[in-house]
């Protein structure tokens, strides 16, 4: 296999890797098809981003850069949650914008429906699944930071799903290291670090989700999420009757609300900035397979 570029090796060596005890099912963690980005020779058991070069190409593309500039060209909305600002249609969206670079993408995984239902084993390969990639800027632009979210493209590769205010996603995703994995419980906006079979909270929502504890076994965590969501999975009575929202994972730009403004991927004419109504996590009628 051709040796990857330096930035790719750095990202692979630093992020989303599991140790030997997880190796048996590691391939199940990544559902997207395509070649796997190779790891350095001193990294024995990598779990990497499929089509990593495509992800790099996406965040470095003119289209994604222009989308970020369009997002940053509109001030952060103030006032009510229904405030809507149309993004200016400029020939060069980045004209007059301070220089910035979009960092290499980081993986974000989420708990799987099978893990929630209790039908999957409490091991990393079955408990969580790669759902999206996130990138932030190398510096703030006009005192603002953003997150660029990539979603897997059917048949392989990655495409822009959204640009959103802030960099919490990338801050948490960057906490993964050798032998650890970061994953999200989007229903409560909780972020966790998985060390072998131990779950540790990374934010207040996750700590609350663990009942205030500093850590928990993956098996005990499964019992918690099963109690919270097992009756709300797709095709459940809760889902089919349209009660609140069903359970699901991140899917482009639909589902649970967030207070962060966001620009949803699409044509420039359709890009709208909405305060308090960014739909990131689809909780209803979205299976993860």
In tens, the pLDDT along 170-195 reads: 999 999 988 899 999 988 999 999 99
In the block, residue with structure tokens 């993408």? 105
Q: Identify whether the C-beta of residue 262 lies closer than 8 Å to the C-beta of residue 280.
A: yes
Q: What's the order of all strands across the beta sheet hosting 216-217?
A: 84-86, 272-274, 262-264, 158-165, 146-152, 128-136, 106-111, 180-185, 190-195, 198-201, 216-217
| Res. 224: pLDDT tops 60 | yes
Q: pLDDT value at position 260?
A: 53
In tens, the pLDDT along 9-48 reads: 444 444 344 333 333 333 333 333 333 443 333 333 235 7
| Res. 125: pLDDT tops 80 | yes
Element holding 198 (H helix, E strand): strand 198-201
CA distance 37 to 47: 9
How much is the average pLDDT of 252-269? Answer: 45
Q: pLDDT value at position 65?
A: 96
SS3 percent helix, strand, coil of the chain, rounded to 5, is 30, 25, 45
CA distance 204 to 139: 26
Q: What's this model's pTM, rounded to 2 decimal places? A: 0.69
Band of pLDDT at residue 138, cut at 50, 70 and 90: very high
What average pLDDT is seen over the chain? 73
């Amino acid at each position: 296999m051709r040796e990857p570029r330096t930035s790719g090796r750095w990202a692979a060596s630093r992020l989303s890797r599991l140790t030997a005890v997880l190796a048996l099912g590691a391939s199940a963690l990544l559902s997207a098809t395509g070649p796997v980005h190779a790891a350095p020779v001193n990294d024995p058991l990598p779990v990497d981003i499929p089509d990593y070069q495509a992800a790099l190409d996406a965040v470095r593309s003119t289209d994604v850069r222009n989308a970020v500039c369009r997002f940053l060209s509109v001030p952060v909305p103030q006032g009510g949650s229904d405030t809507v600002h149309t993004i200016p249609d400029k020939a060069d969206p980045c004209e007059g914008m301070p220089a910035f670079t979009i960092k290499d993408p980081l993986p974000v995984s989420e708990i799987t429906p099978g893990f929630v239902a209790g039908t999957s084993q409490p091991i990393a390969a079955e408990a969580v699944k790669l759902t999206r990639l996130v990138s932030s800027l190398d510096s703030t632009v006009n005192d603002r930071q953003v997150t660029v979210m990539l979603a897997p493209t059917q048949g392989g590769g990655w495409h822009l799903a959204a640009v959103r205010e802030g960099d919490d996603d990338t801050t948490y995703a960057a906490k993964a290291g050798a032998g650890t994995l970061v994953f999200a419980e989007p229903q409560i906006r909780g972020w966790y670090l998985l060390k072998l079979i131990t779950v540790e909270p990374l934010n207040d929502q996750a700590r609350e989700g663990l009942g205030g504890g500093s850590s928990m076994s993956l098996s005990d965590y499964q019992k918690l999420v099963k109690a919270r969501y097992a009756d709300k999975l797709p095709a459940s009575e809760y889902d089919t009757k349209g009660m609140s929202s069903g359970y699901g994972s991140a899917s482009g730009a639909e589902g649970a609300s967030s207070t962060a403004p966001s620009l949803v991927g699409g044509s420039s004419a359709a890009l709208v900035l909405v305060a308090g109504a960014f739909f990131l996590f689809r909780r209803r009628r979205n299976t993860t397979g």
